[in-house]
């Protein structure tokens, strides 16, 4: 079930990416190195409040879309921070 949830979130995001304002989270290499570095800092600070830091390589990039969709609001990330953290975790492979 979890996998299907992540996958449909991925499809929704992919479909929504035609709108310029929406972040294209399925294109991780669009972020600059500086943004990915910021994502790492945010990840290390914001994502260990409720649980141990997850291992980025433990999940696929598709799974991360679903995880970030549920965790970004918990960590109170804005859209940019959401994308930077996503791009960081999928870059650690
Ligand atoms: C306000 C508390 C809170 C914050 C902040 C938080 N999480 Fe979580 N996280 C949870 C809870 C509760 C669960 C377990 C229940 C669930 O899956 O929703 C969880 C589960 C997870 C899981 C396991 C999901 C799975 O399917 O196995 C991952 C990975 C994760 N969080 C990543 C993150 C990341 C990355 C951040 C930072 C952007 C973050 N979390 C911030 C509360 C939080």
Q: Is residue 59 part of a domain?
A: yes
- What sign does the CA torsion over 40, 23, 78, 51 have? negative
Q: Are 8 and 64 in contact (CB under 8 A)?
A: no
- pLDDT tens per residue across span 78-87: 999 999 999 9
CATH number at residue 43: 1.10.760
Q: What domain range is 79 assigned to?
A: 30-93
- pLDDT tens per residue across span 21-69: 555 555 545 789 999 999 999 999 999 999 999 999 999 999 999 999 9
H-state helical runs in 1-93: 2-16, 33-46, 61-74, 79-91
Q: Is residue 3 part of a domain?
A: no
Q: Is residue 1 part of a domain?
A: no
The answer, yes or no, to whether any atom of ligand 1 lies below 6 A from the CB of 47, is yes
Q: Is residue 14 part of a domain?
A: no
Q: Model pTM?
A: 0.77
| C-alpha span between 79 and 58 (Å, rounded) | 23
Q: Which of 74, 76, 86 to mutate to test the pocket of ligand 1 (most atoms within 8 A of CB)?
A: 74
Give me 59's structure tokens. 């999940």
Question: How many domains is the chain built from?
Answer: 1
Give me 34's structure tokens. 């500086």
């Amino acid at each position: 079930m979890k996998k299907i949830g992540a996958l449909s979130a991925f499809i929704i995001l992919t479909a929504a990416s035609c709108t310029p304002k929406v972040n294209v989270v399925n294109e991780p290499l669009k972020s600059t190195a500086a943004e990915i570095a910021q994502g790492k800092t945010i990840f290390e600070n914001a994502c260990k409040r409720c649980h141990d830091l997850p291992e980025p390589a433990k999940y696929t990039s598709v799974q991360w879309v679903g995880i970030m969709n549920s965790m970004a609001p918990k960590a109170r990330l804005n859209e940019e921070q959401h994308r930077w953290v996503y791009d960081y975790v999928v870059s650690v492979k």
